[in-house]
Amino acid sequence: MNLLLFKSLGAQSGKTVFTIKYISNDNVYLNAGTEDGLAVGDKLAIVNGEKLAAEISIIFISKHSSSCKIEKKVSSISKGDKAILIRRRVPTNSAETPIAPSPQKKSQNLTRSVPKRSIPERERKKSTTRVSGSVALQNYQLVDHSSNHLDFEQPTFRLRLRARQLWGKAYNLDIRTRSRYYQRSTSYNTIESQKWRNRIYEVSFDYNDPGALLNYKFGRIISNKFSGIGYIDGAQLQINVSEKLKSGVFAGTQPQWQYSSFQSSMEKYGGFLNFTQGEYGQNRFESTLAAAGEYHKGVISREFLYLQNNYSGGSRWNFYHSMELDINRDWRKELTSSSVALSSLYLSLRLNVSRRLATTLSYDNRTNYYSYETRTLADSLFDDAMRQGLRSNISLKLSYSMRLYANVGVRKKESDNTATVSYYGGFNKSNFLLRQMYLNLRFSGFSNLYAKGFNPSVRLGKSFRFGHSLNMSYGNYKYTLDISNQSRMNQWIRLDGTFEMKYNFFFSGEVSYNWGDDSSDHRILTELGYRF
């Protein structure tokens, strides 16, 4: 099919061409919704030039945004691709679709004016529950070729489940978990040779209806409205004061940050205010102010304010800001000799200067803060500006298929005489030699108080029909220790690919061989999964 045919299929009424604004692991999001004439069940085609890349269907919709499920994938898709409406939702009520009389009965219908008695059929309710996610088995193996024989193997089970509109209402369920087994040929001090690590990232149930007065969420939760607060094993209650203003409270216990294990000794609770104005893809402003307290069996661990702002000028520019302000009382005030301390500040500005040129500038100033677990550590371990730094990125499209990019960052501790500088840059060429083949050349490096090094690499890849891909890469890493002026070098070559199979099964794998002054090994990563 070509582009003209797609447009003719969709040109029944209204706007038919839309743009992808975001792609997640499971869904494609469009910049249009009910106000643009779309509805749940509509089918669209994503095109690359004049070729079909994928077919999608709308599963959830708001005024100016749509969430779509990928029904068929031919080639890779990306943000900014065009989606063309090819089929509108078929009405579920048979009365909406009139049936023309047959030629044999046409004469009878003309002479007989008495209507037949109609018997209403029982309307069959169609479930609106949408379930998506993936389940996968993964295995990672490292075989050490050196005399140390430090072999390592790591089988993993992953589950991601999202259920929307349960029982036809605004109830949702999210599960994201991972179970991993570490097996080493040799143990290291306190590190065991065999160990299970089970992580539950999220298990939450929520009621999320913007039109209702109260929304709630409970389980292991994290909110995108105030992500700086972190995870909570507990509950969140939200009051929709108006369409723009939300307020709420949350309470529960804090999971262990190292392994996300449940613990009952660390309590966390607080409240938040959220204000939103504008729609995605247009001029938009969102701000959240939250206050949180963490307490270990009644003893203060941390109390702080969190502020997060996001300004967007459509596709032209975006500014993001977040900060944390610690409120010090009791033992925290005695250690810091301060009642208030700015413990985190992050600023990021992105500008699309033109259709070809985009740039980003960010500033990061995060400091360590005392908590119940760290209050006995030596003062020397706490730096006034632990991760203060600037970073800038620039991207330039030379043509439809060629792009240059560069990134440089500077970071400095107040206790260091020399700043840490890191950088990378590269060149991308799509449709290299063959259609759907790409070439990536990249060079990165760093310099700090102790060492300096660089890492050139080249990557060649090919996308195939139905979502298959195959990639091959080579790189080396060379660094020099300043204290001894000794240089060391390591090299690697890697082959990886993804293969989409029938019935939504997929297989991905990676094989790499590493050799040099620090390592000599080969590594194999395989994953077999199912998307639903």
Give the tens place of pLDDT for each residue, 45-66. Answer: 988 777 788 899 998 888 778 8
**Average of per-residue pLDDT across 356-366:** 92
DSSP for residue 34 = G
> In this structure, is residue 33 part of a structural domain?
yes
pLDDT mean over 316-323: 94
Distance CA 321, CA 312 (A): 12
pLDDT class for 258, splitting at 50, 70, 90?
low
Q: What percent of the chain has pLDDT over 70?
A: 85
Question: Residue 106 pLDDT more than 50?
Answer: no
Residue 113 has pLDDT above 50, yes or no: no
Neighbours of 518 (CB within 10 A): 12
In percent, the amount of the chain with pLDDT more than 90 equals 52
- The CATH number for 61's domain is 2.40.10.340
Report yes or no on 54 lying in a domain.
yes
What pLDDT score was predicted for residue 218? 95
The answer, yes or no, to whether residue 5 has pLDDT greater than 70, is no
Cα 278 to Cα 63, 236, 286, 316, 415, distances in angstroms: 12, 25, 8, 15, 44
Averaged pLDDT, 382-411: 84
Residue 19: is its pLDDT beyond 80?
Answer: yes
Residue 382's pLDDT is 53
pLDDT at 112: 38
Is the pLDDT at 93 greater than 50, yes or no? no
DSSP class of 435: T
Q: Does some domain include residue 56?
A: yes
Q: How far apart are CA 281 and CA 283, in angstroms?
A: 7
* Dihedral sign for Cα atoms in the order 35, 39, 42, 47: positive
Is residue 40 situated within a structural domain? yes
Number of domains comprising the chain: 1
Average pLDDT, stretch 350-360? 94
Res. 417 pLDDT band, cuts 50 70 90: confident
Q: Is the pLDDT of residue 82 over 50?
A: yes
pLDDT of residue 176: 94
Position 22 in a domain:
yes
Q: What are phi and psi of 502, to 5 degrees?
A: -65, 160
Across the range 238-260, mean pLDDT stands at 89
* 136 assigned to some structural domain: no
Least confident of 88-92, 208-212, 248-252: 88-92
Residue 377 CB-density burial (10 A; 0-12 exposed, 13-18 middle, 19+ buried): exposed
74 band by pLDDT with thresholds 50, 70 and 90 = confident
Q: What is the mean pLDDT of residues 335-352?
A: 91
Q: Which residues contact 286 (CB under 8 A, 6 or more apart)?
A: 274, 275, 276, 277, 309, 310
Mean pLDDT for the stretch of residues 164-172: 91
Domain contains 277:
no
pLDDT at res. 118: 45
Q: What is the mean pLDDT of residues 20-46?
A: 84
What mean pLDDT is predicted for residues 431-452? 93
Six token digits for residue 217: 């969420």
Cβ–Cβ under 8 Å, residues 298 and 288: no
Q: What confidence tier does 130 reach under pLDDT thresholds 50, 70, 90?
A: confident
**Residue-level pLDDT at 128:** 76
Question: What mean pLDDT value characterizes the chain?
Answer: 84
Residue 290 pLDDT > 80: yes
pLDDT tens for 473-527 read 999 999 999 888 899 999 999 999 999 998 999 999 999 999 999 989 999 999 9
Query: How far apart (Å, rounded) are the C-alpha atoms in residues 528 and 26?
Result: 16
Is 131 or 101 the better-scoring residue by pLDDT?
A: 131
- Reported for 501-508, long-range contacts at CB under 8 A and 24+ positions apart, including other chains, are 503/530, 504/530, 504/531, 504/532, 505/529, 505/530, 506/530, 506/531
pLDDT recorded at residue 25: 65
In a domain, 368, yes or no: no
Q: Domain containing 77: what range?
A: 3-90
Q: Which long-range contacts (CB under 8 A, 24 or more apart) does 413-417 make?
A: 413/383, 413/385, 413/386, 413/388, 414/383, 414/384, 414/385, 414/388, 415/383, 416/449, 417/449
Region 416-440 average pLDDT? 92
Give the Cα-Cα-Cα angle 61, 62, 68 (nearest 5 degrees): 25
Q: 90 pLDDT band (50/70/90 cuts)?
A: low
Res 234: pLDDT: 95
